[in-house]
Amino acid sequence: MTKRRCNLWVPTIGWWSNQRRRVVKKVILLSLVGAGVLFGAAYKLPEVSLKGTALGAANVAACDGGDCAYYNSANSAFLDSESQYLEGGLTVVHLPAIEYSGTQMFASGAVVPATASTKVENAFLPNLHYVSKAYGAWRYGLSVVVPGGLVKRWESPVQKLFAQKFDLTTVLINPSVTYKVNDILALSVGADILYSKGEVANDGTLIGKPIKRDMDGDSFDYGFNVAAALHLENGVNLAATYRSKIKMSLEGDATFGLGPMSLGYKANVDVYLPAALTLAVSKDIDKFTLELVYERTFWSSYKYLDFNYDKPLPAQLASFDAKTPKLWKDTNTFRVGLQYRYSDKLTLMAGYSYDESPTKDAYVSYELPDSDAHIFSAGFYYQQSENLG
């Protein structure tokens, strides 16, 4: 089977405010990113703020707004101590069709043509970030983001049998607390509260009979994150963050159609949002800020896709109860972000990322066609102050 990765354009718009002594600085931001399937390899979404999108998520060591609460909450210790920061945005994802060409082999040994295209997809991804003012050496933050997701739909006969619809939606609530150790070092810890919802549909012909499956389920699951920020002389910042793995244990209902029969089951499946370690360094050079980021994502925790049911399936449906091997591998991502402060009000931003795919060619599947991703991004923000009295 031959796979072709498509491109997409992702506009992000939103607002940002910095409140201090009843003066609100309103910022208009526009970010644009050209990338692969959703934002990067697999189903993780690292671009979860306005600047994060414009910089290709190279926004860890030099983050200086409300989105520090997500990218590196330790960095919030070095923001203006009397200010609180609030920002929100909406990312609109338009994903054109992905084309496949080749054949499909079934367990019986039959080989059939499988050239087809996915349906066009659109998604709306909101985000909200907040950082409090300083309370002595302490500071608090909160982010609400979409950290991962996947949607694929097929209408072609072969692909519908495997993945007519495969939809995973997530929302992460991330409160954090930061402690400023001294003038150059800060540490933070946060909780990850993840809501996930999944839908799966299959529709086709197997062993000469019409067969259909519809499943849905949801779950609340938990993880943690830690971060450290070190601000050195000459405009050099160092940062390290770690976000733990979260096992999404989705539970719900499954309905099977086997010829004229309809069968109902309770069902569950485990899906993983992987752990990630991020190391970053930034440097201020006159009006420029350059940031380099290395990220190690531990996808190897995702070994199988295994749907479980509360009672045995009929023999004709046994293939829907089989473990599907994934055997993903850990990956590296390299990011570069550049900011240019054109004036006191206007800042221009650009980014590039190379994101390795965790999938092995032998296990590429219709629900997640994937390959390495080259991601280019750009954006700007314009700041306008208003005195509220």
Measured in residues, the chain has a length of 389
CATH class of 2-387: mainly beta
Q: In sequence order, what are the residues at sequence separation of 6 or more whose Cβ sits closer than 8 angstroms to the Cβ of residue 376? A: 33, 34, 35, 56, 351, 352
pLDDT digits (tens, 9 = 90+) for 248-279: 999 999 998 887 888 999 999 999 999 999 99
Distance between CA atoms of residues 179 and 134, nearest Å? 10
- Which residue's entry shows tokens 């990850």? 192
Q: What is the pLDDT of residue 218?
A: 95
367 pLDDT exceeds 70? no
pLDDT value of position 45: 87
Is the overall model pTM greater than 0.95, yes or no?
no
Q: What distance in Å separates the CA atoms of residue 226 and residue 73, rounded to the nearest whole number? A: 8
Tokens 């080259």 correspond to 374
Residue 76 confidence (pLDDT): 97
SS3 53: helix
The pLDDT value given to residue 183: 96
The whole-number pLDDT of residue 101 equals 72
Average pLDDT, the chain: 83
In this predicted structure, what is the pLDDT of residue 315?
Answer: 82
CB 163 within 8 A of CB 152: yes
Instruction: For 35-64, write each residue's pLDDT tens digit.
Output: 333 445 568 889 899 899 889 999 999 999
The DSSP H or E segment spanning 256 is strand 246-258
**What integer is the mean pLDDT of 292-302?**
95
For 80-89, what is the mean pLDDT? 92
The token duo for 384 is 């306008």
The pLDDT of residue 385:
58
Residue 58's pLDDT is 96
Cα gap 275→289, rounded to integer Å: 28
**193 vs 374, which has greater pLDDT?**
193
Which of the pair, 338 or 215, is modelled with greater confidence? 338
Of 289 and 91, the structure prediction assigns the larger pLDDT to: 289
64 is written with which tokens? 């200086």
288 φ, ψ to 5°?
A: -105, 150
Alpha-carbon distances, residue 11 vs 54, 152, 184, 263, 371 (angstroms): 9, 21, 36, 43, 22
In this prediction, residue 342 carries a pLDDT of: 94
Distance CA 78, CA 186 (A): 8
- Work out the pLDDT band at 182, boundaries 50, 70, 90: very high
Q: From the centroid of its chain, how far is CA 217?
A: 20
Where does residue 51 rank: exposed (0-12), middle (13-18), buried (19+ CB within 10 A)? buried
Q: Provide the percentage of residues in the chain whose pLDDT is more than 90.
A: 48
Q: Using the predicted structure, report yes or no on whether residue 365 has a pLDDT greater than 80.
A: no
Residues 137-172: tens digit of each pLDDT: 999 999 999 998 877 777 777 777 776 677 889 999
Return the structure tokens found at 284: 């201020």
Among the residue ranges 7-11, 100-104, 131-135, 305-309, the one predicted with the least confidence is 7-11
Which is nearest to 304 in space by CA: 363, 221, 245? 363
Range from 21-25, 39-43, 80-84, 119-123 that averages highest in pLDDT: 80-84
